[in-house]
Amino acid sequence: MADHEVICWDCGANVEDPFVNTCPKCGGLLTVKMDLEPVKEMRPQDLRRDISGVWRYAPFMPVDPSRKVSIQEGGTPLYRTDRLAGELGISEVHVKFEGLNPTGSFKDRGMTIGVSHAKELGVKVVGCASTGNTSASLAAYAAKADLKCAVFLPSGKVAAGKLAQALFYGAKVLSVDGNFDDALDLARKMADEKKLYLLNSINPYRPEGQKSVLFEIMDQLEYDVPDRIILPVGNAANIWAVYKAIQELKEVGWIDKVPMLTGIQAEGSAPVAKAFCSGKRDFVPEENPETIATAIRIGNPVSGRKALHAIYDTGGFSIAVTDEEIIEAQQLIGRKEGICVEPASAASAAGLKKLISTGVADRDERVVCICTGNGLKDPETIIKNSPSPIQCGNSVTDAERILYG
């Protein structure tokens, strides 16, 4: 485990109490400051002795790997997607497919670190609010770690596969009146009253695990830094985690160039994109967030200010895409590349298309789209937007008529 301390991102104060989620002095957001001196003695190849996955990057992680709670998360493919690139009219696009994590989303990267840390602290009950994927992931890791788990979900707004996962792994599933932001308020109150240990991404250990997606992308590209990395933004911690990983690789001298971090939101749930488009460093919460991409149906992103910092500091960009653009991109990724991503994840490719057509992105850029979750999480949306199955009599004549008719 690397030496580290938890500090306030806003005022820099040291935060000793491991059970607070904001700075006791100023109320600011927390972050982990890693001591990376030992890594400066290493080369990227040294890490390749361990199998691909989050724990390959243990020297960048604030948890002792000998006490890890792991279901072999990370190690996901980075596909070079030339047919998608051709369709978008850009020279080089890669898709990092996070849907192949143990519970089908990138959340497992943060959860292995978060739950391992919870075990180190000796907590017995963990919890989170979620639009679905975080709850599925926490429920699985809590099962593995033998912890009691409560998940707070916005009533009626969680995709079927994600709800099934949380129930299946044995979590207590609380369906809360209101949206994700309301569910998070309740989960935070429970944590403040010490009734559970909160594993939302406001917990600074979660983004530490999520940094590994960037480490892996760099490893897979032989540290040839891409021009741009695009990802969907909801509660806004993942883009911050990717940014933090970039800073750490720069600090240890493994990269000297920075990709433009580009955060895509869904229209109707786009406080970060709106703030960016008006040049602001803080955002105005969206009262009634709406989008078909329920994973990112969030109006008051906890890490919104961190996300904006990440975007500005890397010369990146942020825009919103419509539900129609999201579904179109989801189908494009499936039908050109054979990759099934959920709607929120398709926002990255939808955003890329928009950036190219508006001239923000150059056609000769090397781009990585992070596709954060598996399409099978939300079969209802796929079925609703696909042609119906064709009724067929049990004969070659009938089948042939349908196929060639």
190 vs 237, which CB is nearer to ligand F0G?
237
171 vs 344, which CB is nearer to ligand F0G?
344
User: Would you put residue 231 in left (φ > 0), alpha (ψ -120 to 50) or beta?
Assistant: beta
Residue 105 as a binder of ligand F0G (CB under 6 A): the answer is yes
Q: What is the DSSP letter of 341?
A: B
For 30, 220, 252, 255, 327, the CA distances from 314, given in Å and listed in that order, are: 21, 21, 18, 14, 28
d(CA 149, CA 140): 9
Residue 171 as a binder of ligand F0G (CB under 6 A): the answer is no
Rounded least distance, CB 97 to ligand F0G, Å: 12
- Sequence-distant (6+) residues with CB within 8 A of 344 are 232, 234, 266, 293, 294, 295, 296, 326, 372, 373
Residue 258 as a binder of ligand F0G (CB under 6 A): the answer is no
Rounded least distance, CB 306 to ligand F0G, Å: 10
Question: Total residues at the site for ligand F0G (CB under 6 A)?
Answer: 22
Token couple for 351 = 């955003």
Rounded least distance, CB 373 to ligand F0G, Å: 3
Tokens 């369906």, residue? 175
Question: Judged by CB under 6 A, which stretch of 7-15, 32-40, 243-251, 341-349 contacts ligand F0G?
Answer: 341-349
130 vs 220, which CB is nearer to ligand F0G?
130
Q: What is the DSSP letter of 375?
A: G
Q: Give Rg (Cα) of the chain.
A: 21
Rounded least distance, CB 163 to ligand F0G, Å: 12
Is residue 399 within 8 Å of residue 390, measured between CB atoms? no
Tokens 């004969």, residue? 395
Is residue 232 within 8 Å of residue 293, measured between CB atoms? yes
Residues 348-377 close enough to bind ligand F0G by CB under 6 A: 372-373
36 vs 176, which CB is nearer to ligand F0G?
176
Residue 296 as a binder of ligand F0G (CB under 6 A): the answer is yes
Question: Judged by CB under 6 A, which stretch of 84-92, 126-134, 323-331, 393-401 contacts ligand F0G?
Answer: 126-134
Is residue 243 within 8 Å of residue 313, measured between CB atoms? yes
d(CA 164, CA 6): 35
Rounded least distance, CB 137 to ligand F0G, Å: 8
105 vs 300, which CB is nearer to ligand F0G?
105
Residue 344 as a binder of ligand F0G (CB under 6 A): the answer is yes
Token couple for 294 = 């329920």
Nearest to 65 by CA among 209, 241, 256, 243: 209
d(CA 264, CA 326): 10
Residue 133 as a binder of ligand F0G (CB under 6 A): the answer is yes
Rounded least distance, CB 273 to ligand F0G, Å: 12
How many CA atoms does the CB half-sphere of 151 hold within 13 Å? 29
Rounded least distance, CB 293 to ligand F0G, Å: 8
d(CA 42, CA 49): 12
252 vs 310, which CB is nearer to ligand F0G?
310
Give the x/- contact pattern for ligand F0G in 204-243, rule: CB under 6 A. Answer: ----------------------------xxxxxxx-----
Residue 381 as a binder of ligand F0G (CB under 6 A): the answer is no
Residue 294 as a binder of ligand F0G (CB under 6 A): the answer is no
Residue 8 as a binder of ligand F0G (CB under 6 A): the answer is no
Residue 139 as a binder of ligand F0G (CB under 6 A): the answer is no
Residues 177-206 close enough to bind ligand F0G by CB under 6 A: 201
Q: Which residues pair with 292 in a beta bridge?
A: none
Residues forming contacts to ligand F0G in the complex (CB under 6 A) are 105, 107, 130-134, 201, 232-238, 295-296, 342, 344-345, 372-373
